Structure 1
Amino acid sequence: MLAYPAVFLGASPYRAPALYHLMSHLDLVEGVRYPRGGFGTLAAALERLAVARGVTIRTLTEAERVVVDPVTPDPSVAPGWRGRRRARGTVRGVVVRDRATGTAELLDADVVVAAGDLHHAETCLLPAPYRTYPERWWRRRDPGPGAVLVCLGVRGRLDALAHHSLVFTADWRANFDAVFGPHRAVPDPASYYVCRPTATDATVAPAGHENLFVLVPVPPDPGLRPDDPRVTALVDRVLADLGRRAGVDDLAARVVVRRVLTPSWFAEHLHAWSGGALGPAHTLRQSALLRGRNASARVDGLVYAGGSTIPGVGLPMCLISAELAARRVASRPDRARAGTAS
């Protein structure tokens, strides 16, 4: 139980640095906080704060390319150890496409903050000469696990479940090898996490119903789709097991809403590297300062935030990365200029 939180850092407990077991201390001693209305209320609060300060938020808009102006190399700077001068540039803006109309446009910007997946930003949005982290860099990295997420609306009470429940397999080594090992496969049996927010907050489901969120770690495979027989069988097994443990043998029959998200959804909708659910795994080589940095090394004005960068995954860490990005922007000599797009 004390080791399993490493999974939510995208790592196997057998590979996670021991320092991360402090998470269990935070959970058990400091306690856990929950925002009434669910975590969507936090995003809504950030939106209100941003709009009140003059930010324009555009949704259903896909970033397609970061536009970079080349910078003439300084002849006084020695070339790299291979005798080549690295390409340098400065950001000019972002080409975006409105999904509703299909119209593309260039948003001019002095600074671009890319808060999505770092692999996507570096390998898809940037021209090749300006990439700090090209594809060869990612080939030596671990994307962490994927996830099958089962979002359920259930008729009737499920009082046997707490707000948070963890269900473990008896053979941990086999379970983690299936998800993180060299020969990855959908685990059977599988460990899983269940969230029942209606245990704390009655506003997140209609009267007489429960809201359940089930997370099953699986390999980071974008080929895993909701209609894949392996996924269908996995979800059915997990729901049958959960029903038995909760004393509700007819759980599947009481489900009135069922939505399944798989690594394919993370890859297609969030551009997540390898369809991973949690960002790069927090192995020793991908922790702290060894993660992707918060700014491009080759493009002035291009800043990064989110779970792919320093300091790591999880809501608190991502907010810290945003703070680091904000400090970088605020420290720029031209910070008073208008027209910033992110």
Structure 2
Amino acid sequence: MTFSLEQDARAVILPAFDTLDVAEVMIPFLEKGGCSLLIGETRAEYVARAMSAERLAVETPELFRASIDRLRSVCPQLIVAVDQELGGIQRLEGIAPPLPSLAEAAGLTDEALIERCRLNAAAARDLSVTMFLAPIADVVDGQNPWLRGRTMGSDPQSVARLAAAFVTGVQSAGITAVTKHFPGFNDLAGDPALVDISLKSAREHILQNSLPFRAAIAAGTKAVMTGPAPVIAFDAQDAASTSAAVIGLLREEFGFKGLIVSDDLDAPATLRGRTLLETAIASINAGADLLLVGGGSHLGTLCDGIAAAARIGRISAERLAEAADRVRRNTARH
């Protein structure tokens, strides 16, 4: 089947919303070629690493499923992503059985942990979810306000074991695991979502801490998310999600062949003074396939801008088509 540039431009966008009330924006997006959304959390929930009392009081499995089914009537193979992190944010809190705590997970055998993750993912599939933006494979051995309360430890081997079990368990239930945030952000002085910040760690240290990414790839993770800030050891100018050097490392040295998902392109450390459209173009050109952006009425303009960039050669039409094809192949697995 042949797709237009406009359809490809929408296929590579993962719009994020903090509400289930998304039909007004999403239906036109899906009708023109979009095929993904992230059902996320509010900033307050993100900071608290927990869903709000107000959300827990009103959100039911039936309400959640009905909201997605309305979109599925337009796009039957819709990718529905959530943050469902072992030890971090769990967007499905209150409507799906919880993942084990980190302390509990550390005491489980691999087989028991895989099964606990599978049960959580099976419940998510019943809610029409298809993708977890997890596990977090970053090994934090310094400060990191962005990932505080979300990571799985400071020992690479321990985190690697948990990440591999998580990937194996959730994917056995039909959920795509998106291992994040490559190449690993062990020490950041600020939150990339709030300030323009860079990772200053040495290349050797970053690679030593990368064992969880290698373990997740060996376990078959279908997707990897790149990080939202520059990694000076590889590319001092561009954030990992817009860096050909970082994405090339993932493809070549780490041998990853699957779907590459950007982190939030709206983050100051990713934008670095550019417009969202310029940043999206840079991310596609660098090799990312699915671009995470805030959802809203601007989606049509953003996607039309991406298509126009491909039309005049600012993006290779072949690169855009390759990215869109990887996304559509993920939808076909549902």
TM-score of the superposed pair, with normalisation by structure 2: 0.25
TM-score of the superposed pair, with normalisation by structure 1: 0.24
Structure with greater strand percent: 1
Which structure is higher in RCO with an 8 Å CA cutoff and minimum separation 6?
Answer: 1
Larger Rg: 1
Structure with greater helix percent: 2
